[in-house]
Amino acid sequence: MNFDYHYQTITKRFISEAYISNEGMLDLSRMKLRHLPEEFHTLSTLVYLNLSHNLLEEYPESIFHMPNLLYLNLGHNKLEKLPPQIGNLTRLRFLGLGHNQISALPPEIGNLSRLTRLHVDNNRLTGFPSQINNLTKLAYVNLGNNQFSESPTERLFGCHS
């Protein structure tokens, strides 16, 4: 039996059952997912999506068709970059990207003006785009264990370390 196919089949059934019963919330953490099923884009009314602790190497394109997302956790995967389309998710309040291999955040991250919590710890970040200053509602940021070339607190909060 093909291991990936088996998980895709389980996931499709699980998605349809979990989504219907959880009113816009879907937790697919720890499912060993490498990618999402094609039908995933039909869940456009999702508000909570947890895809943490999987094996995702690329940002799932179908998430860009979920304009109502408030919570998105992609932590503990194998993501190397965050595409500019992240800026389309303007309703996000929580973005979890910790424990990946991301080396840069796109300027479009600044479009997430409602974001209150950002987790980018344990990546390969060396700096931030200037648009990070648009995130004026940030109340919590986890930046630990990165490779910053400048003080991240100075850029984010205008203070000197």
CB atoms closer than 10 angstroms to residue 104: 16
pLDDT in tens, 103-160: 999 999 999 999 999 999 999 999 889 999 999 999 999 999 999 877 666 656 554 4
Q: How far apart are CA 138 and CA 94, in angstroms?
A: 9
Distance from the Cα of residue 65 to its chain's centroid: 14
Q: How far apart are CA 120 and CA 49, in angstroms?
A: 17
Number of domains in the chain: 1
113 is in which domain, residue-wise?
Answer: 3-157
CATH of the domain at 136: 3.80.10.10
Q: What predicted TM-score, i.e. pTM, was given to this entire model?
A: 0.86
